[in-house]
């Protein structure tokens, strides 16, 4: 699986709720930065986040841009779904990935388009 396929597969697995498979796409020591959370470090923290902390109950990512360059990638898209409290959400996001030599995700940084200032 090439890098772009791996990225697209990641979002499919998130949308399907397949936590074990999506966590396997990350390096053992991967770091995930997401607004509102302390950095998530390692597969165990990622799995805990997706099973216990993520405020999203279900939804679908639609990717509009995926740019891959050497050991990194930028992704832009939209997400539509439902939070655990029942609210519907529709937003734009940007993700930035870096990759290990093995091709797993070494890091992921997420940004949401939301009014803050």
Helix, strand or coil for residue 6? helix
How confident is the model over 56-70, as a mean pLDDT? 96
Tell me if 32 sits within 8 A of 42, measured CB to CB.
no
* pLDDT tens digits, one per residue of 85-101: 999 999 999 999 999 99
Q: Is the predicted pLDDT of residue 117 greater than 70, yes or no?
A: no
- The mean pLDDT of 61-81, rounded to a whole number, is 96
Q: Which of 78, 71, 116, 117 is nearest to 96 (CA)?
A: 71
Confidence of residue 115 (pLDDT cuts 50, 70, 90): confident
- What is the maximum alpha-carbon separation in the chain? 41
The tokens describing 67, both together, are 């740019």
**Residue 40 is encoded by which pair of tokens?**
């998530």
Query: Does pLDDT of 116 surpass 80?
Result: no
Predicted model pTM: 0.93
Among the listed residues 70, 40, 71, the one whose alpha carbon sits nearest the alpha carbon of residue 53 = 40
């Amino acid at each position: 699986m090439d890098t772009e396929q791996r990225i697209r597969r990641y979002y499919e697995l998130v949308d399907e709720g397949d936590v074990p498979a999506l966590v396997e796409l990350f390096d053992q020591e991967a770091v995930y930065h997401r607004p509102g959370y302390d950095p998530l470090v390692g597969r165990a923290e990622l799995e805990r986040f997706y099973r216990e902390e993520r405020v999203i109950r279900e939804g679908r990512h639609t990717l509009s841009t995926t740019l891959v360059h050497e050991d990194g990638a930028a992704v832009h898209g939209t997400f539509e779904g439902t939070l655990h409290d029942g609210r519907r959400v529709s937003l734009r996001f940007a993700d930035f990935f870096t990759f290990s030599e093995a091709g797993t995700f070494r890091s992921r940084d997420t940004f949401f388009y939301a009014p803050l200032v």
